Structure 1
Amino acid sequence: MDLHLTRPGVVAPSRIDLRGLTGPTPGQARGRSWVRVGPSLYRPADVADTVAQRIVEVVAAMPEGSAATGWAALHWQEARWFDGLAADGSRLPIPVAVGDRHAKRRFAGAKVSEDWLFAGDVMLVDGLPVTVPVRSVTYEARVARDDTGALQAIEMAAYDDLASVAELQAYTARLVSRPGKRRLEKALEVADENVWSPMEVVMRRWWQARVPRALLCNQPIFDLSGNHLFTPDLLDLEAGVAGEYDGKVHDTGPRRSKDLDRDELTRRLGIEVVRAMAGRGEESRFRRRLLGAYERADPDRPRPWTIEQPAWWVDTSTVARRRALSPTDRERWLGHRRTGQNGRDVA
């Protein structure tokens, strides 16, 4: 497929050209200045081997009418959490939709989807054909390794406002006899549009598997004067138990100090906080800590806090609300996502 890219930092691979005008000559292709990236396709060796570049190279090797889909299409649209890496850090194959025709070009690094494409399922983004977000997300959820992976695909696409749950449900209703559809439907039934990281999805599933309670995701908490106190990753409002996922950013420095301040605050508020971390065996440890938090919680204690939002606060808990923000308000109310400072007071 011939690509005419407009995005800086990536290049379309070239085919061998006997004159060396549009691509390497046969001799040049055998040298160190060019790298073979697909069937009869080469790129200059000095071009960085980024995720975006790999996506370009795989799509270029496919027939006309094909498009990047799944996580690759979402990555190309700058979705934060679709980095092309498996849980063990290995590279994921690039998923490409070729429609309901057989693709002859199968090679390492590519994952071909031959599910048919609806009219309007493919669009050009910076010169690269990609499937529209609802198609990309529903595909990623259908082929996910498990139910948690399906939910992560949905909620992390919602994080970047690429697809709402309602939009995904409407598209899913059009899918007939697609593999993985039931997994997709189950995930949509419980999906939340206000989740800020993949591990928050994991923590929520651990929690509800042991204590099946309704949980609020990234629910801001205020004092009774309307001042923002903090925003926990998860909150059981009835019990007064909150959950926080501690990644590497929490280990040292200013963030660790903020966490200690947060611990002092929640003790004064009477909110029991249970923390989750990554690592082998963490699920069982988290569940033990969770049960301890519920044992200590006192839901009848007078609460000096509330989730009722004051007039000055702007609710950003849904895709629709975030899409409606002006660029200035988006920076003010969502800028914390880039730093992970989900507890800062923006007032």
Structure 2
Amino acid sequence: MPAYVPDSPQQRVLEASAVVPADGAVTGWAALAWQRVRWVDGCDADGSELPVTILSPGSQARVQAGIEVSKERMLPRTRQVVDGVVLTDPHRSVAFEVRRAERPLSAVRWLDLVAASDLISLAEMAAYAETLSGWTGIDRLRRAISLADENVWSPSETDLRLTLKVRMGIAGVVSNRPVFDLDGRHIGTPDVLDLERGVVAEYDGALHLAGKQRAKDLRREGAFRRVGLEYVTMVAADRRDPADFIRRTHEARARASRTPMADRRWTIDPPCWWTPTHTVEMRRALADWQRERYLRARAG
């Protein structure tokens, strides 16, 4: 047996599960991490470890370092056992984090990332929110549901989409929707697309700055421009201070507005041979081989 066990999120959850009382459950980020929701690592924005939260509405859980206890109500139907650990179901778990989120962006990001795992849909979350009338943070949850998207592939895309949707007030914004030319050829799948004006918005992290990836990105930008789409890029500095990105986006939208709708040479309506995957319902309906084939890019 190894002398050292890495302090992974799953290991922290497993250790905390040992003190869950008979009527309790692990909830919040820890329940989601145990179910391998991507990007949920048990750390806050500063990289500090978050405590594992145990719901214990009727019994006294043993408090210890790295664990917090919540006495919130919990219906028995929201408890489930996954690989030997008692958890709250994904709707209860993500709602717990969203209702406590300090910033609206953080609240929406929780929903985006858990929906991307197909453990929840936004319709399911809206129905669940209706059962929480009067609970702390319920207005925050409802607002986050109205701003969330089921097809986000990374946390940076949430920042990008909400900059356009909330800060700039652009209504027709979608995430990772395939774009086709008018002959049905797939041009690319942009991080975010402004449907109203026809502007592609992409987030470029460090991976995109050099080498083969940079050359690929330039070819991709050219392909979008050839069908009449404008193009704008967000970089890491723009997430901290989006003022210059907003200016560039306004300029791109102004250029795009000079192209009449009738002259657009692109569409998001897929050809008959394409299998769409931009909603949770669509992805849940896929066969295993289809998930492996069509969702590979999402896992990259």
Q: TM-score, normalised by structure 2?
A: 0.92
Provide the residue aligned with 1:228 in structure 2.
Answer: 186
Matches within 5 A, 1:202-217: 202-208=159-165, 209-217=167-175
1:56 aligned residue? 14
CA distance in 2, matches of 1:114, 1:255: 49
Aligned mate of 2:116, from 149, 156, 159: 159
Aligned to 2:243: 284
The answer to whether 1:195 aligns with 2:149 is: no
1:104 Cα offset (Å): 5.1
CA distance in 2, matches of 1:223, 1:83: 39
Matching residue of 1:182: 139
**Pairwise mapping of residues 53-132 of structure 1 onto structure 2 (< 5 A)?**
53-98=11-56, 100-101=57-58, 103=60, 105-132=62-89
SS at match of 1:167: helix
Of the candidates 250, 269, 284, which is equivalent to residue 308 of structure 1?
269
Post-superposition Cα deviations, 1:308-344, rounded to whole Å, max 9, x if no partner, equal 21011011111111000001111111011122xxxxx
**8 A contact 2:99–2:141 mirrored in 1:** yes
What SS does the aligned partner of 1:174 have?
helix
- Secondary structure, aligned partner of 2:131: coil
| Superposition deviation, residue 244 in structure 1 | 0.8
Amino acid at match of 1:218: N
Within 2, Cα distance between the matches of 1:107 and 1:56?
A: 14
Q: SS at the partner of 2:132?
A: coil
Give the structure 1 partner of residue 292 of structure 2. 331
1:257 is matched with which residue: 212, 215, 226?
215
Residue 145 of structure 1 corresponds to which residue in structure 2?
A: 102
Amino acid at match of 1:175: L
Letter paired with 2:87: V
Question: C-alpha distance in 2, partners of 1:258/1:242?
Answer: 16
* Residue in 2 that maps onto 1:24: none
Q: Which runs of 5+ in 1 are unaligned?
A: 1-10, 12-43, 340-347
In the alignment, the residues of structure 1 paired with residue 247 and residue 160 of structure 2 have an alpha-carbon distance, to the nearest angstrom, of 13
In the TM superposition, structure 1's runs of 4+ consecutive aligned residues that sit over 6 Å from their partners are none
Aligned residues: 296
**Alpha-carbon distance in structure 1 between the residues aligned to 2:128 and 2:229:** 40
Of Structure 1 and Structure 2, the greater helix share is in 2
| 2: CA distance, partners of 1:112 / 1:275 | 43
Q: Does structure 1 conserve the Cα–Cα contact (< 8 Å) formed by 2:173 and 2:194?
A: yes
1:141: how far off? 0.9
Q: Calculate percent identity across the aligned residue pairs.
A: 43
Distance in 2 (alpha carbons) for counterparts of 1:110 and 1:80: 22
Equivalent AA in structure 2 for residue 328 of structure 1:
W
Q: What's the CA shift for 1:113? A: 2.0
1:268 and 1:176 mapped to 2: Cα distance? 50
Say if 1:274 and 1:290, in contact at 8 Å, map to a contact too: yes
Question: How far has the Cα of 1:139 moved from its partner?
Answer: 0.9
Amino acid of the structure 2 residue aligned with 1:309: P
1:320 maps onto 2:281 in alignment: yes
Structure 1 pair 281–73 and aligned structure 2 pair: CA distance change class (3 A): closer
Whether the 8 Å CA contact 1:269–1:304 is kept in 2: the answer is yes
Give, in whole Å, the separation in 2 of the partners of 1:277 and 1:108: 38
Verify the 8 A CA contact 2:19 2:61 in the aligned structure 1: no
CA contact (8 A) 2:42 2:49 kept: yes
**Is the 1:276–1:282 Cα contact (8 Å) retained in structure 2?**
no
Q: Does the 8 A contact of 1:69 with 1:96 survive in 2?
A: yes
Q: Deviations over 1:78-106 (max 9, x none)?
A: 111211121122212112222x2364533
